[in-house]
DNA sequence: CCGGATCCTCGGTGATACTG
DNA sequence: CAGTATCACCGAGGATCCGG
C-alpha cells in the first residue's frame, strides 16, 4: 500500500511527523495535493494551476507522490489521456490541508505584486474558512475567476463556474480580503465600490460571517 | 504581529495554504516546531533532539521562524542563556502537527537502520495517537528513553522522565510498533518478551487501545 | 496538443571547523 | 553555550526539446 518516502535526504528519525514531512514536505508537493483535493487533474491542468512550478519538478513530484501511495496515475480513454488523482491515503490529508489554509490565511496581508489567485486556491480558501451557517448559495467573481458556493443543510459545496440560480452574485477583487478579515464592514465595502452585487444584497453579511478568516 | 515569510523562493500565489507552506514548509522547520510544542528549549537542546540538523540550518530556521512570528527568542537569567519558545501563533499549529503525526504514522513500517527515536518524537507520538479512554498512568521505557503518560478525566498529559506511582511500567523497544499497530496482541507481545511490565499488567491492553495507530 | 525528458545554472542544504 | 564561517554538492528553477 505505502512505499518509498518522497525525500531522499532522510531526517533519521522513526516518527510519524518525520514520516509525514518526508512524504509531503518537499517543495510544491502540498500545493499539488491542494489542487488534486479539488478534483482529479491532467498534467497540463496542474501546470496551469501552479504556473511557477518547473515542469521537471512537477513530473518528479507526481512520480514520488505516486510511489508513496498518495497519488494515483490513471489512464483514461475517450478522450485518451492521463489523470492524476489522490488515493484514499492522500484524501485523508484534506482536513490537514484545510487547517493549514486557515492558519496561513491569518497571516496574509496584501497580495504581492506577482501573486496570483487561482481557481483551486480560491475554492480551497472557501472550504478552509467555512463555518457552518444558514443555507444560501453564492456566485463569486474574483478577477476573471468564477466559482460558486452553496450551503445546504449546513454542508458546503464549492465548485468552479457560474450558478444560475445563486441567491447572491458577488463581483470583487483582492479587496475582498479586507472584508473577509473583518477590517471593513460589508456596508463600507459596497459603498466604496470594492464589491458589486446582484441578487439578494442582504446576504453579503451572511457570506462574510460564513467565510470569515 | 506577523512578518516576512521564511522561504525566499516565492510560490507566487495569494493563498492561505501557500502562505503556510512558505512559513513552515522549509526543511527541518516543522520538526523544530514539533520539539518546541513539547516545551521551550535551548539551542543545544534542539540540536540534541534533531541530531542530523546542520547547526547553520538550525540557526537560520530559528531566525526565520522568529521573524515570521512563530517562534520567540527569550533571554533568561539565573541560569543565563537563551530559550526558544512558540508564540501564540506558533502554538496554533499543535493540532495540525498532531494530525500530521497520526497520518504519517500510518505509513511507518520498520525503523531504518539509522533511524532513532527521540524523547520529543515519542511524546508527540503518544499525543498524536491518543484517543480518549479510561484514566490510567503509565511509565514507558523505550531504549534509554523514559517518558510518562497520565490520562485523568479523559485528558492526556505526557512528559519526560519517570512517574513513581504509575499504574503500569512498560519496558520495550521498537517492537512496540507492531503492538500499537495491532499487528500483534498484547498477550503475544508479553509472551514473546518484546515488552516487559511492572505494576498492573492488565492495563497493557488498555494502553494499546488508548494509543493505537 | 499532451505529457513529459534534458540540459544548464544557481542557491539552499549538509558537513565540518571555528569563535565570542 | 550559542552560534558564525567556509565550502562541496545536489535539488530547484528556467528554457528548450522530444515522442505519441
Average pLDDT over residues B114-126: 97
Average pLDDT, chain A: 95
Check CB contact under 8 Å for A96 and B115: no
The answer on pLDDT for A181 being more than 70 is yes
pLDDT tens for B151-167 read 999 999 999 999 999 99
**CA dihedral of residues A183, A189, A193, A196 (deg, nearest 10):** 130
What's residue A208's pLDDT?
A: 96
Q: In this prediction, what percent of chain A has a pLDDT beyond 70?
A: 100
Q: Tell me the CA distances in angstroms from B91 to B30, B72, B85, B98, one per residue in order.
A: 12, 11, 9, 12
Q: How confident is the model at residue B113 (pLDDT cuts 50, 70, 90)?
A: confident
For the cut 80, the answer to whether the pLDDT of residue B6 exceeds it is: no
CB contact under 8 Å between A101 and B23, yes or no, is no
Name the average pLDDT for chain B. Answer: 95
* CATH 3.30.1050.10 segments of chain A: 113-210
> Residue B4's closest chain A neighbor by CA?
A107
Residue A117's SS3 state is coil
B113-210 has which fold?
Nonspecific Lipid-transfer Protein; Chain A (3.30.1050)
Q: pLDDT tens digits for B11-28?
A: 999 999 999 999 999 999
Indicate if the pLDDT at residue B105 is higher than 80: yes
* Span CA (A53) to C1' (D15), Å: 13
What's the gap between Cα A111 and its chain centre?
A: 16
Mean pLDDT to the nearest integer, A122-128: 98
pLDDT value of position A80? 85
Q: Nucleotides on strand D with an atom closer than 7 A to protein CB?
A: 1-6, 11-16
Q: Is A75 helix (H, G, I), strand (E, B) or coil?
A: strand
Could you report the per-residue pLDDT of A19-31, keeping only the tens digit for each? 999 999 999 999 9
A27 phi, psi to nearest 5 deg: -55, 135
Point out which residues pair with B196 in neighbouring strands. Answer: B171
Contacts of B112 in chain A (CB under 8 A): 10, 12, 14
**Which helix (H) or strand (E) covers residue A86, if one does?**
strand A81-86
Q: What is the 3-state secondary structure (H, E, C) of chain B?
A: CCCCCCCCCCCCECCHHHHHHHHHCCCCHHHHHHHHHHCCECHHHHHHHCCCCCHHHHHHHHHHHHHCCCEEEEEECCCCEEEEEECHHHHCCHHHHHHHHHHHHCCCCCCCCCCECCHHHHHHHHHHHCCCCCCEEEEEEECCEEEEEEEECCEEEEEECCCCCCCEEEEECCCHHHHHCCCCCHHHHHHHCCEEEEECCCHHHHHHHHHCC
Note the pLDDT of residue A6: 73
Tens digits of per-residue pLDDT, B67-82?
Answer: 999 999 999 988 889 9
Beta-carbon contacts of residue A162 (< 8 Å; ≥ 6 apart):
A139, A146, A148
CA distance A196 to A36: 31
Residue A125 C-alpha cell reads as 480558501
Q: Where in chain A is the domain with CATH 1.10.10.10?
A: 16-92
pLDDT at B1: 67
Number of residues written out for chain B: 213
Q: Is B20 exposed, middle or buried (0-12, 13-18, 19+ CB in 10 A)?
A: buried
> What is the structure's pLDDT at A137?
98
Is B112 in CB contact (< 8 Å) with chain A?
A: yes
pLDDT (mean) for B181-203: 95
Q: Is B171 a residue whose pLDDT tops 80?
A: yes
Residue A159 pLDDT exceeds 90 = yes
At A85 the three-state DSSP class reads: strand
Q: Distance between terminal CA atoms of chain B?
A: 37
Q: Let me know if A55 is exposed, middle or buried by CB neighbors in 10 A (0-12, 13-18, 19+).
A: exposed
Query: Who contacts A205 (Cβ-Cβ below 8 Å, separation ≥6)?
Result: A186
> What is the grid cell recorded at A7?
525525500
Contact across the interface for B105 and A16, Cβ inside 8 Å: yes
Give the number of other CB atoms < 10 A from CB of residue B16. Answer: 26
| Domain A16-92 grouped into CATH 3.30.1370.100 | no
Beta-carbon-side half-sphere exposure of residue B130 (alpha carbons within 13 Å): 23
- Per-residue pLDDT band at A118 (split at 50, 70, 90): very high
pLDDT for B50 equals 98
Tens digits of residue pLDDT in A77-103 = 878 899 999 999 999 999 999 999 999
Q: What is the pLDDT of residue B30?
A: 98
Mean pLDDT of A52-61: 98
Asked whether strand C has any atom less than 7 Å from the CB of B57, the reply is yes
Spatial contact of B102 and A20, defined as CB atoms under 8 Å apart? no
Query: Helix/strand/coil (H, E, C) string of A14-65?
Result: CCHHHHHHHHHCCCCHHHHHHHHHHCCECHHHHHHHCCCCCHHHHHHHHHHH
Q: What is the pLDDT of residue B110?
A: 86
Cα-flanking dihedrals φ and ψ of residue B8, to 5°?
Answer: -80, -40
Whole-angstrom distance, CA of residue B76 vs CA of residue B35: 19
Looking across all nucleic acid strands, the nucleotide with the smallest C1' to CA distance from residue B43 is D2
Confidence of residue A1 (pLDDT cuts 50, 70, 90): low
Q: Residue B103's pLDDT is what?
A: 98
Q: Is the pLDDT of residue A5 over 80?
A: no
pTM of this structure: 0.96
Amino acid at each position: 500500500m505505502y512505499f518509498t518516502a518522497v525525500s531522499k535526504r532522510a531526517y533519521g528519525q522513526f516518527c510519524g511527523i518525520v514520516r509525514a514531512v518526508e512524504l509531503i514536505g518537499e517543495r510544491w508537493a502540498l500545493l499539488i495535493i491542494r489542487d488534486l483535493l479539488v478534483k482529479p487533474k491532467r498534467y497540463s491542468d496542474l501546470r496551469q494551476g501552479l504556473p511557477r512550478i518547473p515542469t521537471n519538478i512537477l513530473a518528479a513530484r507526481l512520480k514520488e507522490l505516486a510511489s508513496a501511495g498518495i497519488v494515483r496515475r490513471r489512464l483514461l480513454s475517450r478522450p485518451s489521456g492521463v489523470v492524476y488523482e489522490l488515493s484514499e491515503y492522500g484524501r485523508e490529508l484534506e482536513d490537514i490541508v484545510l487547517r493549514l489554509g486557515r492558519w496561513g490565511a491569518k497571516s496574509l496581508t496584501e497580495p504581492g505584486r506577482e501573486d496570483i489567485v487561482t481557481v483551486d486556491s480560491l475554492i480551497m480558501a472557501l472550504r478552509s474558512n467555512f463555518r457552518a451557517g444558514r443555507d444560501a448559495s453564492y456566485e463569486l467573481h474574483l478577477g476573471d475567476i468564477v466559482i460558486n458556493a452553496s450551503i445546504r443543510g449546513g454542508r458546503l459545496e464549492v465548485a468552479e463556474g457560474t450558478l444560475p440560480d445563486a441567491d447572491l452574485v458577488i463581483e470583487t477583487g483582492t479587496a475582498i480580503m479586507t472584508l473577509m478579515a473583518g477590517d471593513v464592514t460589508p456596508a463600507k465595502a459596497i459603498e466604496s465600490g470594492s464589491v458589486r452585487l446582484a441578487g439578494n444584497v442582504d446576504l453579503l453579511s451572511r457570506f462574510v460571517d460564513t467565510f470569515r478568516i
